[in-house]
Amino acid sequence: MVLRQLFAEPQADDAEPLDAYSATVTAVAERLLPSVASLRVRRSNGRWSSDGAGSAVALSSDGILVTSAHVVEGMTGGEARFADGTEHGLELVGKDPLSDLALIQAGEGDLRPAAVADADRLRIGQLVIAVGNPLGYAGSVTAGVVSGLGRSLATRQGTEQRVVENVIQTDAALNPGNSGGALADSHARLIGINTAVAGAGLGLAVPLNATTRRILDSLHRLGRVQRGYLGVAGMTQPLPPEWAASLGRKAAVGVMEVVAESPAASAGVRPGDLIVAAGGEPVGRTADLQDRMIGESSNQTLELQVVRGEVFLRLAVTPTHR
């Protein structure tokens, strides 16, 4: 038997439509691949990273890309290569290690920006697609689901530590080089920036939501992120039943410690207080307070609503910058 006889010539009417899953992933890949770049980064020591250093996603047609802060650590220049083979020189716009986000500028604009959605609308089990350049393999696409929401990612900048809250957990395969790449929903909308591989079948992505958009806006305008400092250490605590019923919420930020001579101390905040709102917005986690400390409003006086025993207090506090 001649081997070529094993395979029938395809006929026009033999074509079968893709199943719904394949059609969705294919459509997302086709829309997103032109927006995702493979990065090579020149470090401050003069050396270039090898292929597969990381990925980035175009946010605007005039050359702004988002990536992970750790990908561009020590960056003095670089190159971005897109799926169509075009290359662009890079400059760092700004980075924020505490959120592991960074913005870079392609030297010659004319990019195809990705559409962006709100990651706060994600649901566990939802289909997500990762597009990046793992291990130097440009334009790689993997698919999976949202495995978990509300995860935490520890970050550090010098001696300062912070926990990025609401990190997306996915089982879409991620490898070195995926960092800075796109995590998209089934409509090809960017909902996260892949940041870490925590284990087999466990990848993490920084969500794109109201908080991270404020961070990216600050990076674009200032090249850095303004964060206010209150001087409190706390944790989520349940509200006493009577206060929960009165305020219509179940949790608050319980103050464990107040730093001496800090803005919180000057405002009269005490250990044992339960902070239920800041600047008119409910807070139930320390991350909620951290979110209020980002951006231009971070150095403006805001009102803390506090439960202290049986007393409801309104305390005015003016954060400082650190």
Instruction: Just list the catalytic residues.
Output: 70, 100, 179
Environment class of 245 (CB within 10 Å of its CB; exposed 0-12, middle 13-18, buried 19+) = exposed
Question: Comparing C-alpha atoms, which of 148, 125, 138 is closest to residue 51?
Answer: 138
Eight-state DSSP code of residue 60: S
Task: Tell me the one-letter amino acid at 54.
Answer: G
Q: Round to whole Å and give the CA distance between 235 and 250.
A: 14
Eight-state DSSP code of residue 291: H
Task: Tell me the one-letter amino acid at 290.
Answer: Q
52 near 177, Cβ under 8 Å?
A: yes
User: In 3-state terms, what secondary structure has residue 214?
Assistant: helix
287 near 163, Cβ under 8 Å?
A: yes
Environment class of 241 (CB within 10 Å of its CB; exposed 0-12, middle 13-18, buried 19+) = exposed
Eight-state DSSP code of residue 64: E
| C-alpha triplet 163, 168, 172: angle, nearest 5° | 135
252 near 232, Cβ under 8 Å?
A: no
Q: Round to whole Å and give the CA distance between 148 and 202.
A: 10
Q: Round to whole Å and give the CA distance between 257 and 233.
A: 5
